Structure 1
């Protein structure tokens, strides 16, 4: 199918030239000729002519970072259910700890850095002998995994990359737009959204989609915001100054 589209792209200009030469010879009525020319031109481009302005409008007015409320002196936040096979779970840059629910056990844990790797709650680097965490561990530091009660979990929750927050927008046939919210920060105590990051994806039109799929293995274009995740977190949940973090 992709070879057929590429062939069409190469052949279409030639067919258009032939049409521009042939149609006036076989169709006498000038208005009918104009209609034929318009239809011929719109066959590969109509969805781009309609879709591109919509895409640019969504990018300019809807996409990007939205911060509704900021919180000062935040030491850490909850990141939902996580698998223990990805431990140790390192706190995000600028924060003292990260809370999570262990997928396998259903228990809640808090992870944070300490300067004493002899603590019984320290997470060993295991088979990851050459990573940054292994280097920190050998230098005397470690990440502690401490079990906490449900009521001790941070009220600030980060939801990231949930498939439930992807939905199609604009019910126009053959114009495929998708709204995605990969990052969402909430206050679970008040059921309030503090900030979110929105992306809009557009297929780019049927001809563009087929061609880009053939050339790169994926199609479409996406817009959002160049703000990094850490900047988004630090702006919404402003961390307490001077907390211990990272491998410094």
Structure 2
């Protein structure tokens, strides 16, 4: 996976935990001969022979991508729109519709229903699948989370935590409204058992995500394991994107399979209108 724009303490602890379980990281390859892997390896998709890469699977390390032929630098590998999109981890306040920076001061425009800061009443992401949907707005309004955000606006760590929760909430709204997409997301690696062995990481999510969602965000119906699984999937598989000051993180249907190489041989950009990822070989 191309390096993220932001590194944070949670990611550092997760990386340490991964190193404890496996002696060497998984490597995606841009050559036709696959990297030697531990465990049994099987082909996952015979039709992918038509593509520049194929998906293979290790019973130890999961799915990964191997080139079907030698690839030149700059070749297009994947372009696809996100399955889910939301504010980045540890990010400053952004518009929930278009992910442009916003202020938390009283002069900032707010959604007329839920009172969360937005860039303006004509935001292109208002009531759009890649932005601030009607279902999300209703949840934030019902739980009075716009008012709660206003009350903590002078506490930057709490503000960042609130924005981190948005994408998790959106994925559970996907579960309700598009279960087939939710099923695809659940196929992504979460490393839940590995994360559980990292006490500091697990407790962070338990206190700042699980308990807050269940207690303050009206999502008591969600199980602890379910929330932790989604947190793991996001940590392992998200791409951070954004242009022209917009910042967001996304889950993509296929691009996450290239997320396990610590020395990346791909690079990505994105379409600022659709948030589609455009992923090419870099060497």
Question: TM > 0.5 between the two?
Answer: no
Normalising by the residue count of structure 1, what TM-score does the alignment of the two structures yield?
Answer: 0.25
The alignment's TM-score, normalised by the length of structure 2, stands at: 0.23
> Quick check: which has more Rg, 1 or 2?
1
